[in-house]
Amino acid sequence: MKKGLLILAIILVIVIAFGSSIAGSYNNLVKLDEEASAKWAQINNQLQRRADLIPNLVNTVKGYASHEEEVLVGITEARSRLETAKTPGEYAEANAQLTTALERLNVVVEAYPELKANENFIRLQDELAGTENRIAVARMDYNEAAKIYNNKVRSFPTNIIAGIFGFEQKEYFEVSEQAKDVPQVNF
């Protein structure tokens, strides 16, 4: 009788120990998941902000450099790609495309001193530069958080718990190798 009680107690201790360690791992995963998601939201906000600045920029440029239709179309296209992106990788690619389009604009702008001196244009450029920098920072923060989360999801024994509860790895906010290989149009 006493022996049975002892065995029961041992089993109980083991069950509690296992249960609490599983709960601990689970809670930790939830926390890391939330952190990464919050940091992703930061990137998303800034991408949205960047996209919102574009129509204003395009209109301002049009007033001075209406001949540069091609460059402006490129910017508008990149912007709409940003709006339809779904995964972090797609967002990163659309964002990179927009950066390239804006760089082309900056080259073109050199030929329009009046536009370059336009107060509104200068402020928009500052807003864009600040937003780009925010994206860079948010990207660093997110990738760091995603890496910590992914490491947890992949490493033993948390990977078992992650598998049971359906925690999946997070995609990094970076341009994939495939997209990098797309030939750039030269001017």
Partner 1 sequence: MKKSRLFLVFFLAFFILIFNKNVYGVGLDLPEPSRYFYVYDEANVIDNYLEDYIINTNEQLYSKTGAQIVVVTLNSLDGNSEQEIAVQLFRKWGIGSKEKNNGVLMLIAPNEKRLWIEIGYGLEGALPDGKVGEIRDKYIFPYFKENDYNTGILKGFDAILSVVLDEYNIESLNSSDSQIDGNYGYDENYDVDIGVNPIIVLIGIIIFLVIDFRFFGGMLTRMLMRSSSRGGFSGRSGGRGGRNRGGGGSSGGGGAGGGW
CB of 147 to partner 1, least distance (A): 10
Name the nearest CA neighbour of 145 among 20, 60, 38. 38
Contact 116, 63 (CB under 8 A): no
Binding positions for partner 1, 113-142, rule CB under 8 A: 122-127, 129-131, 133-138, 140-141
Beta carbons within 8 Å of 49's beta carbon, 6+ residues apart? 131, 134
* Residues within window 15-44 making contact with partner 1, judged by CB under 8 A: 42
Nearer to partner 1, 56 or 76 (CB): 56
Q: Where are the alpha helices (DSSP H) in the chain?
A: 2-64, 69-84, 88-109, 113-117, 119-154, 158-165, 177-180
* Residue whose CB is less far from partner 1, 72 or 138: 138
Taking the complex as a whole, how short is the minimal distance between the CB of residue 105 and partner 1, in angstroms? 17
Closest to partner 1 by CB, 57 or 161: 57
Residue listed under structure tokens 């689970």: 26
The answer to whether the bond into 157 is cis (omega within 30° of 0) is yes
11 lies in the binding site for partner 1 (CB under 8 A): no
Rounded to the nearest whole angstrom, what is the least distance from the CB of residue 56 to partner 1 in the complex?
Answer: 11
Residues forming contacts to partner 1 in the complex (CB under 8 A) are 42, 122-127, 129-131, 133-138, 140-141, 144
